[in-house]
Structure 1
Amino acid sequence: MTETAVPQRSAQHRNALAALALAQFICSFAGSNMNVMINDISTDLDTTVQGVQVAITVFLLVMAALMVPGGRLTDRYGRKRCFVAGLAVYAVGALLSAAAPGLGVLILGNSILEGVGTALLIPPVYILTTLLYPDTASRARAFGVIMALGGLGAAAGPLIGGLITTGISWRAAFVFQALVIAVIIVLSRKVVDPLPPDPTRSLDTAGTVLSAVGLVLVVMGILAADNSLWLTLGLLAAGVLVLALFFRSARAKEASGREPLLSLTLFRNRTSNIGLITQNIQWLILMGTSFTVAAYLQVVRHYDAIRTGVVFTAATLGLLLTSLSAKRLATRHSSRTLVMTGFAVCVAGIVLLVALAAAFSTAWAFVPGLVLIGLGLGAMLTPSVTVVQSSFPEERQGEISGLSRCVSNLGSSFGTAVAGTILVSGLTKGAYAAAMITLAVIGLGGLAAAARLPREPRPGDHDVRGAP
């Protein structure tokens, strides 16, 4: 390689990383910015808080349900092609949402089309990053940038959404998303796919349908909890049954030599399994806290969109501080230490959110808790992703990337569904505290899982000796 080729390749990587990180930012932004628009959307579209909650949850759920198929499509059609196609579908959904005359069209544009677009574009973000940065140090740095932008999008979504909603309207927030997508499409011209597509790769259609239906039934069961306990139990039981059929189908396909949607061998790596659990709970805490606090501030304390968004600046600053220090933290501490510390700090932040909100009526009461939650999440988002992605060789990056994003977005869905359902059932101080305490208990579960990570990071561990 010539001397001029090295900086040229480095510049290409920087441009590609800018496109990939910005894509993660806007998808995370979409998951949280609607939280500060609850009152505005409810009034404009003549719906309820629960209606907005359903729209947000369905968006996150569509992403989760289709993330694994999206990852598999990258092998067949190419990473860059799926990335650009996802951006285009997302942009159409954003513009349709901006013009929505009612909740149904909003769900079609935001929840369905943006969800499908995200499921197509996010797996390539993580696959391309892994392929473009083969060594551990540069990969950790790249993932640090992407996760920082992703966390920033989720944490700053309420602030940016609040500013746009108050200054213009909630519809302009979706136009903003479309404009950012246009910028990413321009930047994506610099993205180079290191591996050629393989048109012979098949897609397990039956597996796709079973996994999607199963996840939808489970989340919808949670959402129905405040209306009917029997409906909830019925939907959850149906969801578990369909998912069991999915895993049985996958096992049968593997046994017969066919390629299932999701290879069950991915679950034979103990380190990766624990990393996936921590990812799920991290996003559950982030999105659950975001929806619960935002809804409580608007509906109970009657804050407007911008005032609610300003409160969330505390979480944004905390998350930025630790996310941007991801490389330095990774060189000084093991992934296990960082993830455990992150969960401990998040749980402390949730406890503060409950205690100070009960003791004080000022908006400042929410700042210390949100700062701690931001610091904790920023410290552990990158290590968890690195642990999972680095547990498998390059030829399996499409599968594990799809599974990883599916698990994370499923956590986001669970967070909004579980905490949101508890909150909207009463929308009182008691309901707020109950929702937050539930998140804290789940956070302790994440801490217990993180304690089972290897004491020393093993980024090159591709074997399955830790399989149960």
Structure 2
Amino acid sequence: MTMRDARRWWGLGALSLALLTLGFDLTILNVALATLSEQLDASTSELQWIVDSYALVFAALLLPAGLLGDRFGRKRLLLAGLALFGAGSLAGALVDGAGAVIAARAVMGIGAAVVMPLSMSMLPAIFPPEERTRAVAVWSASMALGLPLGPLLGGWLLEHFWWGSIFLVNVPMVVIGGIAVALLLPESRDPAAPRIDWAGSALSMAGLVALVYGVIEGPVRGWADPFTLGSIGGGAALLTAFALWERRAREPIMDMGLFRERRFVWALIAGVLGTVVMAGVLFVLPQYLQVVQGNDVLGTGVRLIPMLAGLMLGGLVTERLIGTGRTGAKPIMVAGLFLLAAGFGLGALTEVGDGYPFTAFWLSVVGLGIGLTMVPAMDTVLSCLPENQAGRGSGLVQALRQTGGALGIAGLGSLVSSVYRDRFDPGGLPPQAAETARDSIGGAAAVAARLGDTAALASARDAYVHGMSAALAVCALGTLAVAVLVAAFQPGRGRERARPSADTPESVHEHVAS
């Protein structure tokens, strides 16, 4: 059953507000680490864990959170997730030690792991198929909007308030979103949902934690370090064991049969790719805008808006084309992938002396490509999920997307760092200052400012632009390859299969009006 009155759009607004909060929380810490280091006396390792505790818990719990929503009620679990996220945010704002902030961030990660898949799984419950594309576009845009808003909002808060404000800002948004969800959204669950597969849950959580942790440690320890290789290899082995277990489990946490449907698989690949490249570009580009082009934190956030504008335009175009029946999802998805590859190809041509207008242009193309790719991809994925598996399926999709995002940041960040270190010429810098400058372009800028060495700064800028160009070229080639594969193997409109109905034996679904 879907909601047929205006409340469904207000309900979507409530979900979007929650996702907006999650979105900017993923990036708001990027501008606060130096402040936390100074005011909490946090070591580099503690700063890393302030960021990574959230990511690890988030990735680990996405799959079981979706199943719990199917079994116990998606709205109920969504409210519990919002409450946990708000409680963790409040605790993070009030504590006074790095260890306590790490614990608060882990609680926030638990809440986010519940909110993310269940907010997605609610869409088929409240929107009929003809409106779902528009709903997915709004859902995707709200998350994407938060990513560039994070540095912008964080910079403004740190200029005017104390460090805890970057956590406290989440609380009123979560409260408003929670009240709106409680009043506007219907409850939905699957009365025939399987019992919790504890063995499968343990394997999936352990595998995702090991894999993501290894990816996080790769740039720090080195990709050839035994610990990094062991963590990534162990995570891959555990996830393989999870997949084998699920094929034989009586009540699996994940329907492996979904991976036999090409529509689902290729749309999922396109969606994960969109997350990977978007996370990667949002990691490498701010440093270019700040150190190479000379913008402050607030100006950097503003200059990321063209990508957001392109993404929203792509979502609008997709909704108009699919919603009016002019075309299916595949042509739009393929066009988006080719456009995304072109945008990254343009970005790879960046030179040190290029001004912001060129950056804004290729960012707009990238944003448009992401919008044209992500919205039809997620809409197709949702249409492939049986209604009684909306929570589990959404958990699987989000687990793959978030793991892909972590891989994108780590992989592209390592590539940029490697090229930067190889090309940077410290000139006459003292050995210790040279090592600091070689570690990052931010370190080079600080050293150059302290010593007045303009030649070292010029070399650092040139080296970073070459590293960024290499990363964008990899994004372009990878996206182009996926575009060709999706064009070749994704079934066309005539062979698209509708999602199983609640009235068929394949699916049992219950909606209880709130």
Could you tell me the TM-score, scaled by structure 1's length? 0.86
Q: Secondary structure at the match of 1:215?
A: helix
Change (3 A) 1:275 1:197: closer
Instruction: Show the 5 A alignment for 1:407-446.
Output: 407-424=400-417, 426=421, 427=440, 428-429=463-464, 430-446=466-482
Q: Residue 277 of structure 1 corresponds to which residue in structure 2?
A: 269
Q: Which amino acid aligns with 1:241?
A: A
Q: CA deviation at 1:443?
A: 2.4
Say if 1:41 and 1:170, in contact at 8 Å, map to a contact too. Answer: yes
Q: Residue 460 of structure 1 corresponds to which residue in structure 2?
A: 498
Q: CA deviation at 1:9?
A: 5.1
Q: What is the distance in 2 between the residues matched to 1:60 and 1:286?
A: 17
Mapped pair 1:343 → 2:337: yes
Q: What is the distance in 2 between the residues matched to 1:87 and 1:210?
A: 26
Q: CA deviation at 1:359?
A: 3.5
Q: Secondary structure at the match of 2:492?
A: coil
Q: After the TM superposition, which of the residue ranges 304-313 and 429-438 deviates more from structure 2? A: 429-438
Mapped pair 1:245 → 2:282: no
Residue-pair matches, total: 450
C-alpha distance after superposition, 1:427-464 (max 9, x if no partner): 3414333333333333234323432322217251559x
Q: Secondary structure at the match of 2:384?
A: coil
Change (3 A) 1:196 1:319: closer
Q: CA deviation at 1:186?
A: 1.4
- Residue 403 of structure 1, aligned match among 391, 396, 406: 396
Instruction: Show the 5 A alignment for 1:185-200.
Output: 185-196=178-189, 198=191
Q: What is the distance in 1 between the residues matched to 2:67 and 2:28?
A: 29
Mapped pair 1:286 → 2:278: yes
Q: What is the distance in 2 between the residues matched to 1:438 and 1:45?
A: 38
Q: CA deviation at 1:363?
A: 4.2
Q: Residue 448 of structure 2 corresponds to which residue in structure 1?
A: none
Q: CA deviation at 1:387?
A: 0.5
Change (3 A) 1:204 1:191: farther
| Identity, % of aligned positions | 29
C-alpha distance after superposition, 1:139-186 (max 9, x if no partner): 222222212222222343333333334444553232222221111011
Q: What is the distance in 1 between the residues matched to 2:137 and 2:265?
A: 21
Q: Residue 3 of structure 1 corresponds to which residue in structure 2?
A: none
Q: What is the distance in 1 between the residues matched to 2:182 and 2:270?
A: 34
Q: Which amino acid aligns with 2:483?
A: L
- Residue 20 of structure 1, aligned match among 9, 15, 18: 15
Q: Residue 310 of structure 1 corresponds to which residue in structure 2?
A: 302
Runs of 4+ that moved beyond 6 A: 48-51
Instruction: Show the 5 A alignment for 1:148-167.
Output: 148-167=141-160
Q: What's the RMSD between the two structures over aligned residues?
A: 2.9
Q: Which amino acid aligns with 1:336?
A: K
Q: Residue 466 of structure 1 corresponds to which residue in structure 2?
A: none
Q: What is the distance in 2 between the residues matched to 1:375 and 1:118?
A: 27
Say if 1:33 and 1:157, in contact at 8 Å, map to a contact too. Answer: yes
Mapped pair 1:326 → 2:318: yes
Q: What is the distance in 2 between the residues matched to 1:240 and 1:403?
A: 16
Change (3 A) 1:462 1:269: farther
Unaligned runs of 5+ in 2: 422-439, 441-462, 502-514
Q: CA deviation at 1:388?
A: 0.6
Q: CA deviation at 1:389?
A: 0.8
Q: Residue 207 of structure 2 corresponds to which residue in structure 1?
A: 214
Change (3 A) 1:333 1:101: farther
- Residue 75 of structure 1, aligned match among 70, 74, 96: 70
Q: What is the distance in 2 between the residues matched to 1:339 and 1:44?
A: 47
Q: What is the distance in 2 between the residues matched to 1:53 and 1:236?
A: 18
Q: CA deviation at 1:343?
A: 2.1
Change (3 A) 1:54 1:446: farther
Change (3 A) 1:445 1:234: farther
Q: What is the distance in 2 between the residues matched to 1:105 and 1:339?
A: 44
Q: After the TM superposition, which of the residue ranges 69-78 and 294-303 deviates more from structure 2? A: 294-303
